Amino acid sequence: MPLDIRASADIEAIAEQVFTALADPTRRAILAALASQGPVTATDLAARLPITRQAIAKHLALLAEAGLVRAEPGERRRVRYRLRSAPMQVAQQFLAVLARDWDSPLGALTEHLDRGA
């Protein structure tokens, strides 16, 4: 599906939020914990990570505002945080184009042809 210019700008904004979130080691640790262990409360995260609960609550609020985690009501009114994968999938396309290497295979092709000549 080709995207128009406005959509591209939206994608830029989403990618920026993802990469900004990932640039901070505490937020990386929080996102990694949510990715590997599933939805948890801020209290659970504070028990697992060497970070105060206040700092975790602050980062979770920021991540929720950026749309990277979703706050869900849990048992006894405890809010659980769940990773939202859609923005990550948007950011992945930025990494995909950087990770694709054509220079090495084309170098190998040149060598292969020269060797066989």
Partner 1 sequence: MGFPDRIERTVELAHPPAKVWAALTTAEGLAAWFGDEAAIDLRPGGAARMRWTGEGFTADMRVERVEEPNVFGFTWHIYGLPEDDPRRTYVEFTLQPSGAGTRLTVVESGFAQLPEDVYRKAFDGNTEGWAKELGELAGYLDAA
Task: Kindly list the residues in this chain that would bind partner 1 in the complex (CB under 8 A).
Answer: 1-3, 7-8, 10-12, 14-15, 42, 53, 57, 60-61, 64-65, 67, 70-73, 77-79, 84, 86-87, 89-90, 92-97, 99-100, 102-103, 105-106, 108-114, 117
Ordered alpha helix ranges (H), the chain: 5-22, 25-37, 42-48, 53-65, 85-99, 103-116
Residue 94: CB minimum distance to partner 1, A: 5
Strands 69-73 and 79-83: antiparallel
Backbone φ, ψ for residue 79 (5° rounding): -85, 130
7 vs 47, which CB is nearer to partner 1? 7
- C-alpha span between 107 and 85 (Å, rounded): 36
Q: How far is the CB of 9 from partner 1 (least distance, A)?
A: 8
- Nearer residue to partner 1 within complex by CB, 29 or 88: 88
In 3D space, the residue among 115, 38, 27 whose CA is nearest the CA of residue 82 turns out to be 38
Q: Which is nearer to partner 1, 3 or 47 (CB)?
A: 3
Specify the residue, 2 or 25, whose C-beta has the smaller distance to partner 1.
2
